[in-house]
């Protein structure tokens, strides 16, 4: 297990988790907006990624179990899943799936795909498509590589050495095979690489992507990288890269803001940060990653949970842990706001004081719409903030607080859009603040 996935178990929260309000189903394929900031569905509507890490969905579950998982996530409002098409290490009998099917008839040779394995994978992908999920699909995750000492074979999480051994021509053939098999799925975003710098695999990874395109695949592609790097860093010259990702276990809001400010502009989302039940992460930490992902200009985020990501022992009980419940509220909340119109308040014009540490995890992040009719701020901790009300259109502003921990809403009254105001959240932990222009005062 890599150090970024150190396990610290949590007890499931007692009681029934309330299902999210059903989100309007997206139409696929996804596209990129004219300003290159947003993901849009086929109807031109902004697509907010409410994702879950389900890396071993295909390899480590029976079909009935996969359906159970998909139905649970759909009921909680999740619309996106990260999935490995083939597992090198994290299935019960790697690289075989639960039924014992090998992904390749010649082990490790990507030019020999086993139709029986990919038939079963297609069945799971079909079930996901029927439920409206976007699938971020890794065709050959390369994974972490760790030397374990002299005379001891290296620990390989993914397909790094097999990609190198297969070579670019063989990898392109593998990409063509996948394109012919799965090109009909308009809901797939192909995800090249995974958790490691490409190094010697770069030519093979490019070839997989080009093979997919050879076979007629036109859906978006992204790249998965080593932590603390974005796809635009790792694959800066890739002709297949459409969508950037933010991946950090560090100061999340800083890296998100960096990706917002990239030139040329590229849409991005938070693909991974600390997982629930790992690194002693608090429920508050899991929430703040998600809220930052939107307030800093991203298109949403993918949460993760151990043991769900590899579907290890206890994954069914983990479905109702606090992170999933919080993400159901998160999705409902932002989809009811004009989140795609938010512009990060990088110059601290809206929230001017009480921001917290610029390099800390208590940092307030703010945004406002270009027309000045709405401003919003996420407060990771309980602390007063100074808001410059005249940065928004008036003459009055309705003030509302939202509690990410419970879903409770509290009115902050109506304020004149003039001068600064000190506003204090009414909740003990984190809070969202929204100010909306109105021409009417409540007195």
Summarize the confidence of residues 319-346 as an average pLDDT: 97
pLDDT exceeds 80 at position 185: yes
Q: Which of 371, 379, 348 is nearest to 436 (CA)?
A: 371
Averaged over 277-291, what is the pLDDT? 94
Just give the CATH number of 345-438: 2.60.40
Q: What is the structure's pLDDT at 15? A: 35
Token representation of residue 111: 């030019």
> What's the mean pLDDT in 11-32?
64
Q: In sequence order, which ranges of 39-187 are alpha helices (DSSP H)?
A: 57-60, 63-75, 115-130, 160-182
Cβ pair 423, 399 in contact under 8 A: yes
Least confident stretch, 53-57, 88-92, 292-296 = 88-92
Q: Shortest CA distance to 190 belongs to which of 160, 215, 226, 161? A: 215
Rounded CA-CA distance 249/220 in Å is 25
Domain residue ranges in the chain: 3-341, 345-438
Q: Which ranges constitute the DSSP H helices of 302-347?
A: 315-318, 322-335
Architecture of domain 3-341: Alpha-Beta Barrel (3.20)
Q: What is the pLDDT of residues 381-411, one digit of tens each?
A: 999 999 999 999 999 999 999 999 999 999 9
**Rounded mean pLDDT, 291-307:** 98
pTM > 0.75:
yes
Asked whether the beta carbons of 142 and 158 are under 8 A apart, the reply is: yes
- pLDDT for 279 equals 86
User: What pLDDT, on the 0 to 100 scale, is given for residue 165?
Assistant: 96
Q: Over 60: is that where the pLDDT of 428 sits? A: yes
Segment among 149-158, 264-273, 343-352 with least mean pLDDT: 149-158
pLDDT of res. 12: 40
Q: Express each pLDDT in 118-163 by its tens digit.
A: 999 999 999 999 999 999 999 999 998 776 567 655 667 999 999 9
Does position 18 have pLDDT exceeding 50, yes or no?
no
Look at residue 150 in the predicted model and tell me its pLDDT.
73
The answer on pLDDT for 2 being more than 70 is no
Per-residue confidence (pLDDT) for residue 13, from 0 to 100: 40
**Is the predicted pLDDT of residue 333 greater than 90, yes or no?**
yes
Torsion sign, CA atoms 249, 142, 39, 241: positive
Q: Which residue has the higher pLDDT, 253 or 152?
A: 253
Shortest CA distance to 78 belongs to which of 319, 245, 281, 436?
A: 319
Cβ-based neighbour number of residue 95 at 10 Å? 20
Closest among 58, 101, 50 to 76, alpha carbons compared: 50
Nearest to 64 by CA among 134, 116, 127: 127
Helices (H) and strands (E) in the chain, counts: 10, 21
- Which three-class secondary structure state does DSSP give residue 334? helix
Q: Is beta strand 420-423 parallel, antiparallel or unpaired with respect to 385-388?
A: antiparallel
Answer for the pair 136, 83: CB distance below 8 angstroms, yes or no. yes
pLDDT at 20 over 80: no
């Amino acid at each position: 297990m890599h150090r970024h996935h150190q396990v610290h178990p949590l007890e499931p929260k007692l009681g029934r988790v309330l299902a999210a309000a059903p989100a309007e189903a997206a139409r696929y394929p996804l596209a990129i907006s004219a300003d290159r900031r947003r993901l849009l569905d086929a109807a031109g509507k902004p697509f907010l990624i409410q994702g879950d890490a389900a890396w071993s969905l295909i390899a480590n579950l029976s079909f009935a179990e996969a359906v159970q998982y998909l139905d649970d996530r759909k009921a909680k409002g999740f619309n996106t899943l990260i999935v490995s098409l083939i597992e090198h290490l994290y299935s019960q009998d790697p690289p075989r799936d639960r039924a014992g099917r090998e992904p390749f008839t010649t082990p490790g040779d990507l030019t020999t795909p086993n139709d029986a394995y990919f038939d079963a994978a297609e069945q799971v992908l079909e079930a996901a498509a029927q439920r409206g999920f976007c699938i971020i699909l890794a065709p050959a995750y390369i994974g972490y590589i760790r030397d374990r000492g002299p005379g001891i074979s290296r620990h390989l999480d993914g397909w790094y050495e097999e990609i190198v051994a297969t070579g670019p021509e063989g990898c392109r053939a593998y990409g063509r095979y996948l394109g012919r098999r799965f090109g009909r799925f308009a809901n797939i975003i192909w995800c090249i690489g995974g958790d490691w710098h490409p190094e010697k695999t770069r030519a093979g990874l490019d070839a997989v992507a080009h093979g997919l395109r050879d076979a007629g695949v036109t859906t978006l592609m992204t790249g998965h990288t080593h932590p603390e790097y974005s796809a635009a860093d790792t694959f800066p010259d890739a002709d297949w890269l459409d969508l950037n990702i933010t991946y950090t276990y560090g100061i999340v809001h800083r890296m998100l803001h960096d990706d917002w400010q990239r030139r040329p502009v590229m849409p991005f989302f938070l693909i991974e940060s600390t997982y629930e039940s790992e690194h002693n992460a608090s429920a508050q930490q899991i929430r703040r990653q998600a809220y930052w992902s939107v307030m800093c200009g991203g298109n949403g985020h993918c949460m993760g949970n151990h043991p769900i990501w590899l579907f290890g022992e206890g994954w069914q009980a983990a479905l109702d842990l606090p992170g999933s419940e919080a993400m159901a509220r998160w999705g409902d909340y932002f989809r009811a706001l004009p989140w795609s119109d938010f512009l990060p308040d990088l110059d601290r014009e809206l929230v001017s004081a009480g921001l917290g540490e610029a390099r800390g995890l208590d940092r307030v992040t703010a945004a406002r719409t270009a027309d000045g009719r709405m401003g919003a701020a996420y407060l990771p901790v309980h602390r007063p903030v100074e808001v410059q009300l005249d940065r928004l259109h008036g003459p009055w502003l309705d003030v509302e607080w939202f509690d990410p921990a419970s879903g409770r809403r509290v009115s902050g009254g109506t304020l004149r859009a003039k001068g600064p105001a000190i506003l204090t959240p009414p909740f003990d932990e984190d809070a969202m603040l929204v100010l909306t222009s109105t021409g009417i005062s409540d007195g």
